[in-house]
Amino acid sequence: MSENAPDAPAEDNGGNGGGNGSGRVLNANRRRPLLTGLAIAVVVVGLLAWLYITFIGSRSVSTDNAYVAGENAEITPLTSGSVIEVAVTDTQQVKRGQVLLRLEDADQRIAVAQAEAMLALTQRRYRQSLAQGSALGASADAKDAALPAAQARLASAQADLIKAQTDYRRRAALVDGGAVSADEVTAARNALTAAQAAVQAAQAGIGQARADAISARRDETAAMALVSGTTTDTAPEVRAAQARLAQAKLDLSRTVIRAPIDGVVARRSVQVGQKIEAGNVAMVIVPVGQLYVDANFKEDQLGKVKPGQRAVLTSDFYGSGVEFHGRVVGFAGGTGAAFALIPAQNATGNWIKVVQRLPVRIALDPRELARHPLRVGLSMDAEIDLTDND
């Protein structure tokens, strides 16, 4: 008994060992199909991913980092004044040319009246200058006509002088023979002297007439220089007055501020009675019919993106049931990090590469925007068709 007692446990241990080995084999046999199935599943998933990337994913790029934007119009009065009327409110739809607000215009109306009066006065002065020029021209013509008369008087004086000289010589020759008296000789001498003086006076008269004619013609030239080659509408001083009147009327028209584009009023910051200065923003108009999307794609997505390619977009505002269609317009001049207020300092030793995003502008179809209006800042999902190379 003592010898067989140790053997029984040995047999039991051998039997248990054999049972455990059979269990391990059975478990291994059961796991093998699972591993095989898992391997097949991995291969199938990998193959499907490769097929998607090769034949579907490579045909387009997409991003959900996209937002609606637009060229907003800031309404800034070009003249200062007190607001007397605000005709619109925030969220209101307006049309181009519609009155947005009015400024008090009493000062501008007074300026227009003053400019009109100055223009009328300038035109009268111009016509007066024309009349003066004509009068001086007539005077110069009269002075010119006086010269031949002076020359005629000189010729007459010279003839009288010749006659007086002849008479004096004849009488002087006869005085010794007693044919003429001394009084006659004296009278002839006096006549000769008078004739000589008359010639000198006539010569001086010609010089004076010539000088008067030259002076009168110069006065005419000086007067006509201000109006020569011009009319009442083209004279420089008249045109300056017209410009001042046009400026006054422009300032008056600027007291009525109108919408420059169609759109929706936003950020209205002006109230009736407020004094507004020229250049201050009174409100903003968002052109909801001419919006676009800035889609921020990763830099490794843009290798095949080109301007003109078609894009399909959806908005969280309407959901995936409403699609917007557009085309790529172009790329921004730099990434958001490049234009940040504090740009990244990549030259430091703590640099970590971060995939950058570049804004891509996509123009939207105005007809679709009319059917489903968007607003600036709304989120969009954008997908660009890379196969569109038209």
CB contact at 8 A, 295 and 60: no
pLDDT tens digits for 26-57? 566 666 777 777 888 888 787 776 666 555 55
| pLDDT band per the 50, 70, 90 thresholds, residue 19 | low
As a whole number of angstroms, the distance between CA 91 and CA 94 comes to: 9
Would residue 22 count as lying in a domain? no
151 and 125 belong to one structural domain:
yes
The answer on pLDDT for 264 being more than 80 is yes
Domain that holds residue 269: 73-105+253-285
Would residue 114 count as lying in a domain? yes
Q: What is the pLDDT of residue 54?
A: 59
246 and 113 belong to one structural domain:
yes
205 and 299 belong to one structural domain:
no
The answer on pLDDT for 14 being more than 60 is no
The answer on pLDDT for 380 being more than 50 is yes
Percent of all residues in the chain with a pLDDT value above 70, rounded to a whole number: 84
The CA-atom distances, in angstroms, between 345 and each of 9, 348, 350 are 77, 6, 9
165 and 133 belong to one structural domain:
yes
186 and 165 belong to one structural domain:
yes
The answer on pLDDT for 16 being more than 70 is no
pLDDT tens digits for 323-362? 999 999 999 988 877 777 777 777 666 777 788 899 999 9
- List all residues 6 or more positions away from 154 whose beta carbon is below 8 Å from its beta carbon: 199, 202, 203, 205, 206
> If we measure between CA atoms, which residue out of 291, 293, 310 comes closest to residue 61?
310
| pLDDT band per the 50, 70, 90 thresholds, residue 21 | low
182 and 86 belong to one structural domain:
no
Query: 296: which strand partners?
Result: 359
Q: What is the pLDDT of residue 11?
A: 44
122 and 148 belong to one structural domain:
yes
Query: Which has the minimum average pLDDT: 189-193, 198-202, 303-307, 343-347?
Result: 343-347
Give the best-scoring range by mean pLDDT among 37-41, 208-212, 262-266: 262-266
- Residue 143: CB atoms within 10 A of its CB come to 20
Would residue 127 count as lying in a domain? yes
The answer on pLDDT for 253 being more than 60 is yes
Phi, psi (degrees; rounded to nearest 5) at 307: -60, 140
187 and 297 belong to one structural domain:
no
Q: What is the pLDDT of residue 169?
A: 79
Dihedral sign computed on CA atoms, order 3, 6, 9, 14: negative
CA 36 to chain centre: 73
271 and 217 belong to one structural domain:
no
pLDDT tens digits for 65-106? 999 999 999 999 999 999 999 999 999 999 999 999 999 999
Q: What is the pLDDT of residue 2?
A: 41
**Number of domains comprising the chain:** 3
The mean pLDDT value for 277-299 works out to 93
Would residue 355 count as lying in a domain? yes
Domain-ending residue, one of 250, 275, 302? 250
pLDDT tens digits for 122-178? 988 888 877 777 776 777 777 777 778 777 887 888 888 888 888 777 777 776 666
| pLDDT band per the 50, 70, 90 thresholds, residue 119 | very high
Would residue 31 count as lying in a domain? no
CA 353 to chain centre: 42
Would residue 209 count as lying in a domain? yes
365 and 334 belong to one structural domain:
yes
Would residue 47 count as lying in a domain? no
CATH code for position 221: 1.20.120
CB contact at 8 A, 325 and 312: yes
Q: What is the pLDDT of residue 53?
A: 59
| pLDDT band per the 50, 70, 90 thresholds, residue 381 | very high
188 and 147 belong to one structural domain:
yes
As a whole number of angstroms, the distance between CA 193 and CA 195 comes to: 5
